[in-house]
Amino acid sequence: MIILETDSLDKSYGPVHAVNHLNLKVESGQVYGILGPNGSGKTTTLSMLMGIVRPDGGMYRWFGDQSGPAANKRIGALIETPNFYPYLNLVQNLRIVCRIKGVDEKDIQRVLRLVNLHERSQSKFQTLSLGMKQRLALGSLLLGDPDVLVLDEVTNGLDPEGIAEVRTLIRQVASTGKTIILASHILDEVEKVCTHVIVLKLGSKLAEGEVDNLIKGKEIVVLSSDDPDQLGQALTGSSRVESFSREGEEYKVIIKEGTRPGDLSKELMDKGIVLTRLESRKNRLEDQFLELVKQDNTPKP
């Protein structure tokens, strides 16, 4: 089932093209990451999808054909930092959220257990750690058991412990079959949490697909020798090398499909080159991301 689909979604702020005719599709049960550096259009995209910002062009559809209040009732969204009252305890704060959302207050205890804050239910909000506050924010989204969660930079400002707590909670919620749309500039977060990802730069889509497939990519081999210039000449003439770049005295080599690192090593040895280092690396999403954002995606005339 398609949960969300956009068609040429577009938004500009004066000369800044924040979102550039964006097409994406999110299916039920996916943890869909919107990944990109600051200024890539992530928050603007989510704000349009939640009706906070009006698109200049294009359209979006939730649950096949819904938008506006009808769709929003089935979505829990955390686009901005929620406002909790510091001198009220957790239950009192969540009661206010229930009244705003029209949700039965009996759901509060379920949510507090889910976010592992049940034992702190009578604690004042101001006494919570940053990680606990963010877990409470996620808990407030889960009141009423929405079908979809929309999260924008949900781990921003948290210490490592808080980040780990929030990521664990997201994975726990995802395991129940809920669809989660998560915007982040943190590569590690997307790798550890998301099943699918779209990479944005300057509002344009650079890549999209399953995280596992983007991680796999092509094999990278790091090489060095006592004569880096000679090694570079050999790599230039190698039929086993797709591309390479030099970083100091080392070479980062992308080998062609079907080639093993040992094949390249033997070829270089046959040319009289003795390697002082040969390291095969998994082409992580980080490598894919860094390569993508280096590309020039300026619209061509």
pLDDT digit string (tens) for 65-95?
A: 766 677 788 999 998 777 899 999 999 999 9
Average pLDDT estimate for 199-227? 84
Q: What percent of the chain has pLDDT over 90?
A: 61
What letter would DSSP give residue 118? G
Tell me: do 167 and 92 sit in the same domain: yes
Of 158, 188, 215, which residue sits at a domain end?
A: 215
- Residue 301, pLDDT above cutoff 50: no
- Residue 171, pLDDT above cutoff 60: yes
- Residue 110, pLDDT above cutoff 90: yes
User: 59 is in which domain, residue-wise?
Assistant: 2-215
**Cβ-contact 19, 48 below 8 angstroms:** yes
Please give the Cα distance from 236 to 265 (Å, whole number). 14
* Phi, then psi, of 74 in degrees rounded to 5: -100, 5
Tell me: do 115 and 250 sit in the same domain: no
Q: Is residue 145 part of a domain?
A: yes
Q: Is residue 300 part of a domain?
A: no
pLDDT of residue 216: 65
pTM score, two decimals? 0.76
pLDDT of residue 3: 95
| Half-sphere exposure (Cβ direction) of 36: Cα atoms closer than 13 Å | 24
Give 237-276 pLDDT, tens digit per residue.
898 998 888 888 899 888 887 888 899 999 999 999 999 9
Please report, in angstroms and rounded to a whole number, the separation of the first and last CA atoms in the chain: 38
pLDDT of residue 70: 74
Which ranges of the chain would DSSP assign to H, the alpha helix? 42-49, 69-72, 90-101, 107-114, 130-142, 160-174, 187-193, 211-216, 228-236, 261-270, 285-294
Q: Is residue 90 part of a domain?
A: yes
- Residue 300, pLDDT above cutoff 50: no
Domain count, the chain: 2
Tell me: do 46 and 89 sit in the same domain: yes
Tell me: do 236 and 211 sit in the same domain: no
Q: Is residue 109 part of a domain?
A: yes
Tell me: do 145 and 157 sit in the same domain: yes
pLDDT of residue 217: 63
Helix (H, G, I), strand (E, B) or coil at 159: coil
Tell me: do 104 and 230 sit in the same domain: no
Tell me: do 104 and 185 sit in the same domain: yes
Most confident segment among 60-69, 87-96, 191-200: 87-96
Tell me: do 208 and 272 sit in the same domain: no
pLDDT of residue 6: 95
Tell me: do 188 and 147 sit in the same domain: yes
Please give the Cα distance from 168 to 160 (Å, whole number). 12
> What letter represents residue 87's amino acid?
Y
pLDDT of residue 212: 80
What letter would DSSP give residue 124? B
- Residue 10, pLDDT above cutoff 60: yes
Tell me: do 142 and 233 sit in the same domain: no
Q: Is residue 287 part of a domain?
A: no
Q: Is residue 238 part of a domain?
A: yes
pLDDT of residue 22: 95
Q: Name beta bridge partners: 89.
A: 124
Tell me: do 135 and 229 sit in the same domain: no
pLDDT of residue 247: 81
pLDDT of residue 207: 83
Tell me: do 49 and 94 sit in the same domain: yes
Domain CATH code at residue 154:
3.40.50.300
Q: Is residue 289 part of a domain?
A: no
**Cβ-contact 90, 122 below 8 angstroms:** yes
Q: Is residue 301 part of a domain?
A: no
Average pLDDT estimate for 3-13? 95
